[in-house]
């Protein structure tokens, strides 16, 4: 049973706020896939999620390091950017499976590049342009994801 949530995001502030809102309702770990063209707001949205879990510093895209860890009081958040990944097998060498514990929040940009080395998501999120605004569509892909999207819709 899939659930969906969608909204228009007027600007960067609204995109960060949407990430904050999502972080506020995630009670345990989650795997979140982010889809969208370059510049669609994936890292901006992730900044909102990471800040929503209590991070106060900068949030940068881990384009070259592949993962940026945020070990926070409420949860460990791992931000992956697989855009420059040459071969999904590289993920096995970096020990990617160690990041995906039951209580970690894993946000994965460009998940299609990870192949079978990354788990199925709880939330599958697409950011796209609609004129000068962005549109976000959040689809559940697991029971945990259904519970999260139902909270967003209430």
Q: Enumerate domains of the chain plus CATH numbers.
A: 4-153 (3.40.50.300)
Which of 20, 21, 19, 26 minimizes the C-alpha distance to 74?
A: 26
The tokens for 146 are 């259904």
For residues 40-49, average pLDDT: 94
Report in angstroms the alpha-carbon separations of 137 from 22, 84, 123, 128, 129.
13, 24, 10, 9, 12
Query: 56-83, pLDDT tens digit by residue?
Result: 988 888 877 889 999 999 999 999 999 9
* pLDDT score at 132: 84
For residues 95-123, average pLDDT: 92
Whether 127 has a pLDDT exceeding 80, the answer reads yes
């Amino acid at each position: 049973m899939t659930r969906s949530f969608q909204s228009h995001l007027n600007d960067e502030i609204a995109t960060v706020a949407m990430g904050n809102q999502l972080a506020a309702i995630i009670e345990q770990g989650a795997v979140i896939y982010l889809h969208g063209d370059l510049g669609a707001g994936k890292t901006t949205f992730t900044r909102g999620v990471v800040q929503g879990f209590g991070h106060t510093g900068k949030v940068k895209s881990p384009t070259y390091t592949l993962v940026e860890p945020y070990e926070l009081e409420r949860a460990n958040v791992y931000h992956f950017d697989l855009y420059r990944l040459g071969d999904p097998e590289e993920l096995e060498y970096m020990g990617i499976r160690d990041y995906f514990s039951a209580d970690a929040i894993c946000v994965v940009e460009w998940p299609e590049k990870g192949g079978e080395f990354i788990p199925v998501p709880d939330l599958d999120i697409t950011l796209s342009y609609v004129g000068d605004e962005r549109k976000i569509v959040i689809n559940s892909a697991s029971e945990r994801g259904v519970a999260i999207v139902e909270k967003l819709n209430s």
